Amino acid sequence: MCGRYVVATPFQQMALDFGAATEVEFAAHYNLAPTACVPVLWQRAEDDGALRLDVARWGLVPYWAKDPGIGVRAFNARMETADQKPMFRTAFVRRRCLLPADGYYEWRKGEGKTKQPMFIHSQDGAQLAFAGLYERWKDAEGRSLWSVSILTGPAAGDELAAIHDRMPLTVARDRIELWLDPELRDAERVRSLLDLDSVPAWTARAVGPAVGNVRNNTAELIAPLVADAENPAGGRETTGVQAREISGVQALF
């Protein structure tokens, strides 16, 4: 599963890299967690099908939900069953998106109850495009909440499987146009666009325990874990800072 990830690439650079228009700003964030606003690349009917880079709330709220709180547990969707589950099936065939990312965190089990946080990213440092689904929910006053979920699949390769049995799935750059196409509605064809064999592209490194606190949000969170004389096991804790707010953007708009 993917429950924390990193977006460090400048927002305007992201828009340029993907060839997308944008009118919002997003500060670098090293500890994104469910219910936060996150960058999303999509082609919505509301934008006349134009490719746009916007923000949405992480945790999918289907249009039929009575309460948006349902999205708290829907931040991931299993690739194998997304087209069957009521929560995700409409979005899987009609409302797909991408979530740009620079890597994600997972916790590797150690001895007893100990867990080691790991930062997982592409070997060449390239920005990733997590496969996602999106929905639009409206409240009683007609205000819209746009929300997203990240598709996951079995971990690719022994290294990642040793950390966790699931991982966020990505979409290769040459498949992005098809992935975002709302006219593509065949579930098996959609599934075939996902990158299910990305063993050579991923690498993982141990990082410090500060990432466990969602209030911490600095580049130090992704720094390699190193041992020192005071702490031979490594993992010197860092205080971090309060998570930055997204400039001029709200999740509900």
- Whether the pLDDT of residue 231 is over 70: the answer is no
Closest listed residue to residue 136, CA positions, set 68, 86, 216, 232: 68
- Whether the pLDDT of residue 237 is over 60: the answer is no
Q: What is the mean pLDDT of the chain?
A: 88
pLDDT of residue 239: 29
pLDDT of residue 199: 62
- Whether the pLDDT of residue 210 is over 60: the answer is yes
Predicted confidence band of residue 226 (pLDDT cuts 50, 70, 90): confident
Residues 84-112: pLDDT tens digits?
999 999 999 999 999 999 999 999 998 88
Alpha carbons 214 and 6: distance in angstroms, whole number: 12
- Whether the pLDDT of residue 192 is over 50: the answer is yes
- Whether the pLDDT of residue 245 is over 60: the answer is no
Which residues, at least 6 apart from 202, have a Cβ–Cβ distance to it below 8 Å?
A: 120, 121, 122, 123, 156, 157, 159, 160
pLDDT of residue 46: 86
Q: How many CB atoms lie within 10 A of CB 95?
A: 22
Closest listed residue to residue 37, CA positions, set 50, 46, 24: 24
pLDDT of residue 129: 93
> Which pTM value belongs to this model?
0.88
Q: Which residue has the higher pLDDT, 2 or 183?
A: 183
Predicted confidence band of residue 227 (pLDDT cuts 50, 70, 90): low
- Please answer whether residues 28 and 49 qualify as being in contact, where contact means their C-beta atoms are separated by less than 8 angstroms: no
pLDDT of residue 1: 64
Residues 158-182: pLDDT tens digits?
889 999 999 999 999 999 999 999 9
pLDDT of residue 45: 87
Active site residues: 2, 106
- Whether the pLDDT of residue 8 is over 50: the answer is yes
Query: What is the rounded average pLDDT of the residues 227-231?
Result: 47
What element of type H or E holds 190? helix 187-192
Give the burial string for 162-172 (b: 16+ CB within 10 Å, else e): ebbebbbbbbe
Q: Domains in the chain, please, with CATH?
A: 5-103+124-154+165-199 (3.90.1680.10)
